[in-house]
Structure 1
Amino acid sequence: MTTSTTAPRTRLPRTDLEILPLNLGGNTFGWTSDRETSFAVLDAFLAAGGTFIDTADVYAAWAEGSEGGDSETVLGEWLTARGNRDHVVLATKVGAKPSHQGLAADTVDAALDESLARLRTDHVDLYYFHYDDEDVAIAEQVRIADGLVRSGRVRHIGLSNYSVERMREWFEVATREGLTVPVAIQPHYNLLARAGFEQGYAAIAREYEVAVLPYFALASGLLTGKYRTAADLEGRARKGMVQDLLTEDALTVIDALVEIADSRGTAPATIALAWLLAKGVTAPIASASTPEQLPALLEATALELTADEAAALDRASAPFA
């Protein structure tokens, strides 16, 4: 059973959305977690004080027999069964589902309506443009996003998987034209993937007061410490995502995580997420396939690394910076 956390709440900048500083990833729902297990994870997350849930219309199109929409469907069934939509901060994404790829206006409009139907709600709190579409000018993307907000179906906009240059243009155009400015970015950022965010996207986040909600916060599970050799990956659903990351440099980082975790009496995943929070991340995204995996994630929201611990992790992960 997951117990309630005493971590302080944080607010997504320029919004009234208050959250625990952990964003529960919904990519496992309808994939590695069946409906019953997904419900159990979601119930435990809310019971512990969590509210912020992240999904996408494309989840889990990579699984055999799926065209996407699985995670949103499970979430919609859970929200309806529990009657708790008003207690959840809900984020989903557009642009990558096989049947609705790209960011043309008609595509986005249809995809949003289908997401709302699966989620069984009339609005999402945060709607990401999941991947840039270079066939659609940034100025047009800004206008499309602003129209979604004005329609009432979307409260706030976020961006993910844009180049630094195109993302900056997005913020510049929206600000200059007085249209909806994104309140969040979702970069790839963790101890094994530092350079892209720290050398590029971080400046945008600071300049425009944007929430930073990184995906792959645990490097597809590698930073939990449970994968130390190629043999550990055999038969695992995430093998394809993790096997190329399992390098000597990565093992150095994992060793540092395990050492600090052992000294604290906690899990490596907790320390990896606490490092992101120490770096100023608003709420890292992490998923749990079972309720038993949640406590290690939640504990990070109330654990503060010492300066020496943070520095040790910085040194271990320097090859990735």
Structure 2
Amino acid sequence: MRYRTLGGGTGPTISTLCLGTLPFGTTVDEPTAFAVLDRFAEAGGTFLDTADNYACWVPGATGDESELLLGRWLRSRGARDRTVLATKAGARPDPSRGPEWPANLEGLGEKAVRKAVDGSLRRLGTDRVDLYYAHVEDRTVPLEETVGALAGLVRDGIVGVLGASNHATWRLAEARHIAGARNLPGFRAVQQRHTYLRPRYDAESGLQRETDEELLDYAAAHDDLTLLGYSTLMHGGYARPEQPLPERYDHPGSVARLRVAQEVAAEAGATVNQVVLAWLTGGRVPVVPVLGVSSVTQLDECLAALDLRLDAAQRARLDTA
């Protein structure tokens, strides 16, 4: 495993791969999830990611499942002190706002943020979260209110570093400006959808935001901001070339880009998944991939990407395809 510092020079040390736990407790059962978590820890992985709404869209689920399972694993392994733990607020179903998700998101008002963090701490069985994200934008609440509410969690010692996920770059920048002007802790991490293939310009994003050139430029100019990427492996899309690409990436521009990734993989004796992960972690803005895996075998493939070094020519071919 390799390591880096989260959020510039003052954040915690994290593994360069983060294990996402979105399906754990719903579509991935507890024995399998524990096996994946054990293998990640054995390999030196220290950075785990969850949210207070994972995976509420699965029939019969409430959004408690991932945090509860992760809390059980942390306790059973005595692993809390050696784990950098990230969770999120803002996208949990709130029945008082109606019966349908995502129309009934809890949002990022001050009361909602306080309620959300209390619930996450209880489910995770901890008194502190190392990285706490504003999960999705909430434009019904003034940014000043959200920034102040999140800063209060840091002040109270129950949150270490703050992050934003699924935010437009200008909203991220504005929130950081507000925090800086008030001498408050601001966002030091941003997590967006990010993979090697680029989406169609007209792709429907819903609650999710894609990493674009504007965000990459902003992150490159601010070394106190760590960029994380989710859905990096397109839910297995690179591993199943016989199947159509996900709709958002199914366009003519993907053909050449995918062909180059396959060529580089063949040259390196690697898989396309491993090339994508190496491309992400070694770019001009090094990205922390949030791995979405459902088996130890899939995790081991991802871990092996840490041994892959793309040379300058390979990276240039990938970048310009």
* 1:272-307 deviations in Å (ceiling 9; x for gaps): 011111222241111210011112211223322111
Pair 226,88 (structure 1): closer, same or farther in 2 beyond 3 Å: same
Q: 2: distance between equivalents of 1:131 and 1:51?
A: 25
Aligned: 1:273 with 2:289? no
Aligned: 1:148 with 2:162? no
Question: Which of 204, 210, 233 does residue 225 from structure 2 map onto?
Answer: 210
> Whose helix proportion is higher, 1 or 2?
1
2:52–2:91 CA contact under 8 A, matched in 1: yes
Q: 1: distance between equivalents of 2:64 and 2:265?
A: 36
1:192–1:219 CA contact under 8 A, matched in 2: no
Amino acid at match of 1:218: L
Q: Which runs of 4+ in 1 moved over 4 A?
A: none
Where in structure 2 are there 5+ consecutive unaligned residues? 95-104, 202-209
Shift of 1:181: 1.8
1:220-235 pair list within 5 angstroms: 220-222=235-237, 224-230=238-244
SS in 1 for 2:116: helix
Counterpart for residue 161 of structure 1 = 166
Q: 2: distance between equivalents of 1:31 and 1:15?
A: 35
Shift of 1:20: 2.0
How many residues matched? 299
Aligned: 1:136 with 2:141? yes
2:198–2:249 CA contact under 8 A, matched in 1: no
Where in structure 1 are there 5+ consecutive unaligned residues? 234-241, 317-321
SS in 1 for 2:22: coil
TM-score norm. by structure 1 comes to 0.87
Shift of 1:66: 1.1
Aligned: 1:264 with 2:271? no
2:48–2:86 CA contact under 8 A, matched in 1: yes
Q: 1: distance between equivalents of 2:170 and 2:301?
A: 36
SS in 2 for 1:184: strand
Pair 289,138 (structure 1): closer, same or farther in 2 beyond 3 Å: same
Amino acid at match of 1:11: T
Q: 2: distance between equivalents of 1:197 and 1:68?
A: 25
* 1:225-262 deviations in Å (ceiling 9; x for gaps): 324324xx9xxxxxxxx345344433433332222222
Counterpart for residue 15 of structure 1 = 10
Greater alpha carbon shift after TM alignment, 34-43 vs 300-309: 300-309
SS in 2 for 1:274: helix
Q: 1: distance between equivalents of 2:155 and 2:47?
A: 23
TM-score norm. by structure 2 comes to 0.87
1:234-313 pair list within 5 angstroms: 242-279=246-283, 280-313=285-318
1:225–1:258 CA contact under 8 A, matched in 2: no
Amino acid at match of 2:29: D
1:36-115 pair list within 5 angstroms: 36-99=31-94, 101-115=106-120
Q: 1: distance between equivalents of 2:112 and 2:299?
A: 35
Amino acid at match of 2:5: R
2:233–2:276 CA contact under 8 A, matched in 1: yes
> Percent of aligned pairs with the same residue?
37
* 1:170-218 deviations in Å (ceiling 9; x for gaps): 0111111100122111122221237953421123323332011111212
Amino acid at match of 1:267: T
SS in 1 for 2:130: strand
Q: 2: distance between equivalents of 1:19 and 1:193?
A: 27
